[in-house]
């Protein structure tokens, strides 16, 4: 079964750091574009970051210079390292697969992991 399972969310103080993980099964992370998307409470979807099959990475302006997307081929897992967290980073964070055959639209999503930023 094709599946994504996120973990690593939690409560963190402003200025703190978190590392989110996204474990994949049923397909290979490194063979697909993989993205992180977040959703603040009661708000819409915000694209955060993508890692391409070749390893290139891109970020939304809101997280650039504070975040790093990466993957571990041996674990078939995607990561998002977030530093200098702000109140406005609080959201449910989803990882998603974006395969070429769907023109890089996101066809498989995890259930999300919640990040709370509060003092």
Interface residue list for other proteins (CB under 8 A): 35, 37, 44-47, 50, 58, 60-61, 94, 98, 102-107, 109-112
- 44 vs 119 by CB, closer to other proteins: 44
CB of 114 to other proteins, least distance (A): 12
CB of 23 to other proteins, least distance (A): 15
Min dist. Cβ of residue 72 to other proteins (A):
22
Identify how many contiguous H helices and E strands the chain contains and give both numbers: 0, 11
Nearest to 95, CA basis, from 3, 17, 10: 3
Nearer to other proteins, 7 or 17 (CB): 7
Helix, strand or coil for residue 89?
Answer: helix
Cα dihedral 100, 103, 108, 113 sign: positive
Nearer to other proteins, 16 or 52 (CB): 52
Q: Which is nearer to other proteins, 42 or 119 (CB)?
A: 42
Q: How far is the CB of 17 from other proteins (least distance, A)?
A: 23
The Cα–Cα gap between 94 and 5 comes to: 9
On the CB side of 67, how many CA atoms lie within 13 Å of its CA? 24
């Amino acid at each position: 079964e094709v599946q994504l399972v996120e973990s690593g969310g939690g409560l963190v103080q402003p200025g703190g750091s978190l590392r989110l993980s996204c474990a994949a099964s049923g397909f290979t992370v490194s063979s697909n574009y993989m993205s992180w998307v977040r959703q603040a409470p009661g708000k819409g979807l915000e694209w955060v970051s993508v890692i391409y099959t070749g390893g290139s990475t891109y970020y939304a302006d809101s997280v650039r210079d504070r975040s790093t997307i990466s993957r571990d081929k041996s674990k078939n897992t995607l990561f998002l390292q977030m530093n200098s967290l702000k109140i406005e980073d609080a959201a449910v964070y989803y990882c998603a697969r974006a395969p070429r055959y769907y023109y890089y639209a996101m066809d498989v999503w995890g259930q999300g992991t919640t990040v709370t930023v509060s003092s």
